Homo-oligomer: A and B are copies of this chain.
Amino acid sequence: MRVAFLGLGKMGSALVPHLLNAGCEVTVWNRSSSAAKELASKGATMASSAAEAVSSCEVVFSLLLNDAATEAVLFDGGVLDAMPKNAVHVSVGTISVALAKRLTLEHAKRGHRYVGAPVFGRPNVAAEGKLWTVVGGAKEAVQSVRSLLESYTRGMTVVSEEPWSAHAMKLAGNFSVAAMVATLSEAMMVAESMGVSPELFVEMANSAAFRSPLYEVYGKTLTNPPKEVGASMELGEKDIRLFREAAAANGVKTPLAELMGKNFDAAIEAGMKDHDWATGYYELVRKRQVEVPVVL
């Protein structure tokens, strides 16, 4: 299958090799070209523009930083108009529900199909081909790209035939993980104030109650900040904001997310924009014990 891949950050770069291994002809494009060169050495074709990359493809993957980058590439970059009729756009990025709805319409106008297919997992999990994919889209459109999604996926949740529903579920899932980090931060802080190591608290709570590998991983990540930032505070802030916007659009109140949003804002204001989103959140909770008044 002829596939274009737009956006070669850590995640995108980890996904392209799986598509190559699945036998696809992959044309790659990225704003800066170093990641594309790396993938060209593995068999991908480099394109000089996003519009060129998609012009003769059956499937277009996009995995760009946020709504603004996605809009810039798809609209201003001419991708929407360059895509062949009947092509399928698979949107892997964590974008807003509103943009997913808009893209569904714009693609339909041009005879394309749009599939929302955001993923759960960090780049190392992507490299192993073990992401979890959440899918929304018309049945036959999903069916036509299923084997491609499976090339990097350990499991899939098909939410509905509405592409935006997959993006909504991804945002709600990210909110849940962020709430776990917020909870851990608060509980570990209390444990520490009692003279109990945060590590022992995490071990106890996970053995006694959660038994969750994710809880364990984040517990360790908070107390032993990784050398490389997994995702930034800025991305964490974006995800919580999009979750709140999606909820608010439906008239749903989200006080927990609001509290977390305020913490992300405070962290970014304090210059922690590029810190790891999880360790940064914990760091902020610890700092604000002495420095700033509590949010509530």
* Residue ranges of A at the interface with B (Cβ–Cβ < 8 Å): 97, 120-121, 132, 134, 155, 157, 159-160, 162, 165, 168-169, 172-173, 175-177, 179-180, 182-184, 186-187, 189-191, 193-196, 200-201, 203-205, 207-215, 243, 246-247, 250-259, 288-289, 294-296
Contacts and interface: CB of A to CB of B under 8 A. Distances in A.
Contacts of A200: 157, 159, 169
29 contacts: A121-B208, A134-B204, A155-B208, A157-B207, A157-B208, A159-B196, A160-B196, A162-B195, A168-B196, A169-B200, A169-B201, A169-B204, A173-B205, A175-B183, A175-B190, A176-B184, A179-B183, A180-B180, A180-B210, A186-B254, A190-B246, A190-B250, A209-B214, A210-B212, A255-B259, A255-B296, A256-B259, A259-B259, A296-B296
Query: Among A160, A211, A256, which residue has the most Cβ atoms of chain B within 10 A?
Result: A256
Contacts of A190: 168, 172, 175, 243, 246-247, 250, 252, 254
Contact of A176 (B132, B162, B207, B209): B209
Contacts of A208: 120-121, 132, 134, 155, 157, 173
Contacts of A254: 186, 189-190
Contacts of A212: 210-212, 214-215
A207 B132 CA distance: 8
B255 A186 contact: yes
A159 B194 CA distance: 11
A55 to B, nearest CB: 34
A293 to B, nearest CB: 9
Given A168-B191, A183-B180, A203 B157 contact: yes
A193 B155 contact: no
Nearest to A194: B168
Contacts of A258: 296
Contacts of A252: 189-190, 193, 289
